[in-house]
Chains A and B, each alone.
Chain A
Amino acid sequence: MIASAALAVLAIVASVTPLAAQSAPDPTPPRVESLFVTPFGALPPIAPLMPANRDNHFWGVRLQYAHRARDRARAAGAVALGIDLQWRGGSVVGVTAGYRRPDCAADPAAEPAVAAFCDDHPILAVGGRFNFLTGGSGVVALFSDPSATNTLGLEIQLGVSPGIAESVTACSFGLGIPYSVSFGRTLRLVPFLTPQVGWSIGCSDAVSTSGTRGAISAGIGVQQILVRGLDAYLGYQRIFRSDAGHLIGLTISYVFLR
């Protein structure tokens, strides 16, 4: 399990690294800027949700905050609220709505391409996190913990950010392969790693359709904090682009159990 996950990570990193290398020197075109202004690059990554019993679907809410530090003064903070439906205690579909506030102070005359993306704007997303393999026998020995559980899944997200500039809407489509291991009793620690690929989708004339970038997300979660449904995740994301900066964020989620 671990070996296959590691191979998957290596394969994706290997496939996206040349893109980053080819991009230097990066002229900061707008073609992949949509990845930064939509939830793909604006909100923090989270681990696969803890499984629950198969008899019910469970509703959950999540509050997310992230800050991306970028060069050329294009840092931005974003906050969002999400609603998730965990289908039969396993995979999750959800919607997200939030707000992104760039810190940038670019001169529109000197850097029009940068300044075009400096407006405050809403961020919206719909997506799913599907658990393909959830098991544990393979990681028991590694963690000396007979309750260790690992999960390999697939994340899909369609993000939309209207009004990033006057009459400009940015869109993106993201795919990720999250792998997590949870261990511990009562409080569960969940380190996770998610290789990602994001596509900038042309949903406005000002944004090209051709932008694609790989990314890597990682983090650690603490599940079942005081009550069984409450989790917190600290996440980091690096998009493979020379001026991408670093995103760090926090997610608090709560699953309503029956």
Chain B
Amino acid sequence: MDLSSFGRSAALARTRAAALPRHGTLCGFTALCIAGSACATAPPAPAGSPEIETTLFLIGDAGAPDPRVVGAPLDSIRAQAAAAPERSIIVFLGDNVYPGGIPDEGRAEYMDALRRLDAQILSVPAGARGIFIPGNHDWGNEGPDGLYSIRWQGALIAGRARGRDVVMLPRDGCPGPVSVDAGRLRLVLLDTQWWLHEYIVRDSASACATGLPGGVTDSLRRALVPDRPGFVAVVAGHHPLITGGEHGGYCGFAGPYRRLGPRPQDILSRANRAMRDSIEAAFEPNPPLVYAAGHEHNLQVLGGRNARYLLVSGAGAYEKRSCVVWLRESVFVAQSRTGFMRLDVIRGGGVRLQVHVYDRAGRGGVAYTRWLERP
């Protein structure tokens, strides 16, 4: 990894961030912001503002970075998190290494897999926390060696941290949930591929707190019980609960066929439905503010049923960007672009969402902001 080029890109991102308009949304980015729309519902967060208790960066499917340059999303995250690293958490929402997770050490693809992982690890500045969630591609592209591939990736992330606070959660192919507390925020992490994997998900080396779907949902339900004033729950897993993308049976000629013969990775499959029903049932008593996912290579903000907002932030790599359809539940969508989402948990009340969107040349910035919880 060429750290000098990384630094230049970060400086460029800071310049771009400074050039962002002071109002909430870049309305010019979208052709039409009709009267009554939520174009400017929340002001942008000044970098490092003391009012922010915790900043959560959500980026998914970033496991296909350009081998020549650091992409704008990772670059911008690093620059923004560096402004207040002690209160920044960067969550990589799965599919951290395309196409099949970490291959065997002797294979030619091994070094390239390390490059893909390093690009993300290096976007976590010193003092910030980085959390990698497993995705279906990290589970050996849903293959028979998935459990071992995901364990191997977790070990590599820890081994290549170079002093950074980066970790894979849930660990070792366990389903979770794993809770991370930061002030008012409780971040609950799930390995949703564990539910969908069609090969071995446990062995004699497994030491998971629970290994049955019912146990996972019970633990998830308990993790969402408010235990402090101003409690804010954000649940993160790789697979979305609702999506207007390819995995939802939309987009291109493949859409109808996905509807007719869905794979477990698709919303319409029985296995996927069972997983989502279980997760949503656990949400019912105490709905989290946000369920965040990747999997689709686009950016979506949707209204949810058992979580107030559903975020899909899987546009971490330009080469993987894809289509998305506006659904009745949609609040914001961006397709054919890269980007990430930022959640600012405000001290004393308020949670602000920013969606950062970039084109191929790295031009862009805040395309949408919204108060998910009013201050």
Contacts and interface: CB of A to CB of B under 8 A. Distances in A.
Interface of A: 50-55, 88-90, 132-137, 140, 143-149, 182-189, 224, 226, 228-229, 255, 257-258
B209 to A, nearest CB: 29
Interface in B308-335: 322-335
B232 to A, nearest CB: 25
Contacts of A148: 31
A146 B242 contact: no
A54 B332 CA distance: 18
B326 A186 contact: no
A53 B328 CA distance: 7
Contacts of B249: 54, 88, 90
Contact of B328 (A88, A147, A255): A255
12 contacts: A50-B327, A53-B248, A55-B273, A88-B259, A135-B250, A137-B251, A144-B31, A147-B332, A185-B30, A185-B33, A185-B332, A187-B35
A205 B251 CA distance: 47
A53 B31 contact: no
Contacts of A133: 252-253, 255-256
A134 B267 contact: no
A185 B38 contact: yes
Contacts of B256: 132-133
Given A136-B323, A145-B32, A54 B334 contact: no
B360 to A, nearest CB: 12
A229 B327 CA distance: 11
A186 B303 CA distance: 12
A145 B38 CA distance: 15
Contact of A134 (B303, B325, B367): B325
A188 B36 CA distance: 11
For the complex of A and B, 3 pairs with smallest distance between CB atoms: A186-B37, A52-B328, A184-B32
Interface string B320-356: 0011111111111111110000000000000000000
B357 interface: yes
Contacts of B329: 52-53, 228, 257
B36 A186 contact: yes
B293 to A, nearest CB: 14
Contacts of A147: 30, 324, 326, 330, 332-335
A140 B336 contact: yes
Nearest to B277: A55
Interface of B: 29-39, 242, 244, 248-253, 255-256, 259, 267-268, 273, 276, 303, 305, 322-337, 357, 367
Nearest to B305: A258
A186 B38 contact: yes
A149 B326 contact: yes
A60 B322 CA distance: 30
A51 B250 contact: yes
B295 to A, nearest CB: 14
Given A54-B242, A134-B250, A184-B37, 18 more contacts: A51-B244, A54-B249, A88-B268, A90-B259, A133-B255, A135-B255, A136-B325, A137-B251, A146-B335, A147-B335, A149-B325, A183-B31, A185-B39, A186-B36, A186-B37, A187-B35, A187-B36, A255-B328
Contacts of B273: 55
Contacts of B36: 186-187, 226
A50 B242 CA distance: 15
B145 to A, nearest CB: 31
Nearest to A50: B328
Nearest to B276: A55
Nearest to A130: B256
A50 B326 contact: yes
Contacts of A90: 249, 259
Between A144, A148, A186, the greatest number of chain B beta carbons within 10 A of the residue's beta carbon is seen for A186
A153 B28 CA distance: 31
B251 A146 contact: no
A184 to B, nearest CB: 4
Contacts of B322: 137
Contacts of A149: 325-326
A161 B38 CA distance: 45
Contacts of B335: 136-137, 140, 146-147
